[in-house]
């Protein structure tokens, strides 16, 4: 093509396809150069959480489930495969307590819970690594024969609230005790508010509210706003500053929900649907992935009240990879967002959002 500006246009088409704002980096599921990666068909990352000091924990699905930790602070830089649950085909939740993590998987017996002490942060592994593993503790099945749909930890990190196909349960992390607290037909993900309540899908178009302190389950407590909620996976994100909860319906309409105040109107619509995973960074911007097969990143900026499309994830620093499907997201210590790639040979992606440039009056470079 020799039309004027054709090359420029071609470059735009190519490069504007990928991460347009910020930087996406794919990190392999191993200690690069030292260990094998989690096998490709066991590395669909479907659950993530993070400790108070910024250490990532996650779980994978596939021919087997794995629990792993990702450390990127100081002179660490690794994903360490903590355990293989050979009989499990999916991990639906990982929750970080204060000194332990909890992983929920599904195997032939139903939803199965494991626990382990948090991994010690090693010394400078650029120099030499001495990393030890610890055994998992099997906490059993909350309800034998019922799969675990999802689970979340509360803000104090002392309890996990989970839902199976028909039951709501609470795990006391310190006591390692599981208690059934109600009967609810599990559907979609849960979210823990800063107010101590946990919300999840109830009857069509409504949420239940479970108060952890009082151990009360309130059915159909909150009416969902107008939208397409039929079998919605209910992907949530929490703004840890404002306490605002975000959720998207099947068509990609984004809503915010402030416990006590109720739902917002539609805030915007993602370019593609459904929304797969999302998290809120420190300044209130919501980032996530939407669409099937080849997802696009989106951003909802509450300051501008707009949703923008950020293209397809591409990693060009050290590890070259396109990111197509993401299974979970969690906010990092410094405002970066970790996205778990739900694909064969899944990687742990780190997204560094753009920092808004301050422009002084009449001075701009």
Partner 1 sequence: MKYKTVWYPFTEHPESDSCWSLSVGPDGRIYAAACCETTPGQTVKVVRYNEETDSLDYLFDLDKAVDDPRDSGRATQCKIHYSFAPSMKDGIMYMATHLSGPPIDQPVYSPLGSWHDKERCFRGSALIAYDTKKDEVLWWDTMLPKEGCRCLLHDEERGLLYSLSYPRDHFFIYDIKKRKLSDMGRIGSVNAQTLFLDSKHRVWTTDDYGHVVRYDPEKGRLERSPYILPHNQQMQTGWHSVFYDVAPSPDGQCVYAVPWLNSPRMMRIWPNEGEWGEVEDLGQVTQGFDKKHPPDFFVDHCGGLVFGGDGMLYYVASRWKEPITMGHNNKGLEGIVWRLDPNTLERQEVAVLDRPNENAHYVSRGAVDHNGDLFFGHVHTYAKPNGIFKVIMPEERKRKNAHLPIRMWG
| Binding residue (CB under 8 A) for partner 1 from 17, 35, 211, 250 | 35
Per CB under 8 A, the segment of 43-51, 130-138, 154-162, 290-298 that binds partner 1 is: 130-138
Question: Min. distance of Cβ 120 from partner 1 in angstroms?
Answer: 11
Per CB under 8 A, the segment of 91-99, 122-130, 248-256, 291-299 that binds partner 1 is: 122-130
| Binding residue (CB under 8 A) for partner 1 from 80, 169, 199, 229 | 80
Residues 6+ apart with CB under 8 A from 358: none
State how beta strands 245-248 and 253-258 pair: antiparallel
Q: Does 345 bind partner 1 (CB under 8 A)?
A: no
Q: Does 132 bind partner 1 (CB under 8 A)?
A: yes
Q: Does 117 bind partner 1 (CB under 8 A)?
A: no
State how beta strands 159-164 and 78-85 pair: unpaired
Residues 6+ apart with CB under 8 A from 120: 132
Per CB under 8 A, the segment of 57-65, 124-132, 164-172, 271-279 that binds partner 1 is: 124-132
**CA pair distance 109, 346, nearest whole angstrom:** 26
Per CB under 8 A, the segment of 51-59, 126-134, 331-339, 340-348 that binds partner 1 is: 126-134
Question: Min. distance of Cβ 47 from partner 1 in angstroms?
Answer: 19
| Binding residue (CB under 8 A) for partner 1 from 34, 117, 292, 306 | 34
Per CB under 8 A, the segment of 18-26, 87-95, 128-136, 193-201 that binds partner 1 is: 128-136
CA atoms within 13 A on the CB side of 107: 18
Question: Min. distance of Cβ 87 from partner 1 in angstroms?
Answer: 18
Q: Does 73 bind partner 1 (CB under 8 A)?
A: no
Q: Does 126 bind partner 1 (CB under 8 A)?
A: yes
Of 36 and 316, CB closest to partner 1: 36
Q: Does 320 bind partner 1 (CB under 8 A)?
A: no
Q: Which helix (H) or strand (E) holds 14?
A: helix 6-15
- Which pair of tokens denotes residue 235? 């992907």
Of 130 and 358, CB closest to partner 1: 130
Q: Does 81 bind partner 1 (CB under 8 A)?
A: yes
Total residues contacting partner 1 by CB under 8 A comes to 19
| Torsion 69-71-76-77 (CA) sign | positive
Q: Does 229 bind partner 1 (CB under 8 A)?
A: no
Give yes or no for a contact between 295 and 269, defined as CB atoms under 8 angstroms apart: no
Of 131 and 194, CB closest to partner 1: 131
Long-range contacts of 255-260, Cβ-Cβ distance < 8 Å, separation of 24 or more? 255/225, 255/227, 256/302, 257/199, 257/222, 259/193, 259/194, 259/195, 259/197, 259/199, 260/195
**CA pair distance 178, 169, nearest whole angstrom:** 7
Question: Min. distance of Cβ 80 from partner 1 in angstroms?
Answer: 6
Question: Min. distance of Cβ 336 from partner 1 in angstroms?
Answer: 23
Q: What residue ranges in 202-285 does DSSP mark as E strands? A: 206-211, 216-223, 236-238, 245-248, 253-258, 262-263, 268-269, 275-280
Of 73 and 216, CB closest to partner 1: 73
What is the longest distance spanned by two Cα atoms in the chain?
71
Burial class for 83, CB neighbours closer than 10 Å (0-12, 13-18, 19+):
middle
Per CB under 8 A, the segment of 1-9, 12-20, 77-85, 219-227 that binds partner 1 is: 77-85
Question: Min. distance of Cβ 46 from partner 1 in angstroms?
Answer: 19
φ, ψ dihedrals at 120, nearest 5°: -65, 140
| Torsion 312-313-316-321 (CA) sign | negative
Binding residues vs partner 1 (CB under 8 A): 30-36, 38, 78, 80-81, 126-133
């Amino acid at each position: 093509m020799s039309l004027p500006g054709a090359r420029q246009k071609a470059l735009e088409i190519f490069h504007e396809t990928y991460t347009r704002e910020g930087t996406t980096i794919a990190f392999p599921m191993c200690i690069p150069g030292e260990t094998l990666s989690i096998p490709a068909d066991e590395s669909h990352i479907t659950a993530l959480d993070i400790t108070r000091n910024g250490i990532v924990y996650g779980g994978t699905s596939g021919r087997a489930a794995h629990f792993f930790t990702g450390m990127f602070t100081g002179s660490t830089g690794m994903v360490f495969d903590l355990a293989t649950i050979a009989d499990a085909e999916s991990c639906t939740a990982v929750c970080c307590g204060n000194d332990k993590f909890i992983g929920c998987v599904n195997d032939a017996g139903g939803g199965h819970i494991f626990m382990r002490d948090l991994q010690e942060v090693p010394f400078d592994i650029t120099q030499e690594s001495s990393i030890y593993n610890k055994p998992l503790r099997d906490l059993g099945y909350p309800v034998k024969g019922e799969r675990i749909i999802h689970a979340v930890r509360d803000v104090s990190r002392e309890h996990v609230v989970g839902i199976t196909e028909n039951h709501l349960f609470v795990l006391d992390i310190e006591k390692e005790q599981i208690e059934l607290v109600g009967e609810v037909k599990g559907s979609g993900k849960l979210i823990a508010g800063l107010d101590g309540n946990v919300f999840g899908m109830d009857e069509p178009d409504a949420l239940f509210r479970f108060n952890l302190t009082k151990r009360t389950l309130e059915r159909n407590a909150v009416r969902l706003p107008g939208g397409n909620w039929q079998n919605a996976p209910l992907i949530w994100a929490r703004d840890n500053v404002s306490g605002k909860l975000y959720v998207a319906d099947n068509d990609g309409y984004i809503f915010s929900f402030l416990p006590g105040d109720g739902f917002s109107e539609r805030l915007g619509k993602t370019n593609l649907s459904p929304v797969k995973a999302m998290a809120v960074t420190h300044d209130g911007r919501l980032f996530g992935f939407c669409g099937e097969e080849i997802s696009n990143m989106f951003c909802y900026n509450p300051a501008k009240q707009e949703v923008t499309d950020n293209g397809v994830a591409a990693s060009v620093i050290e590890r070259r990879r396109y990111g197509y499907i993401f299974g979970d997201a969690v906010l990092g210590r410094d405002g970066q967002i970790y996205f778990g790639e739900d694909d064969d040979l899944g990687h742990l992606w780190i997204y560094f959002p753009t920092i808004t440039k301050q422009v002084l009056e009449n001075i701009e470079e």
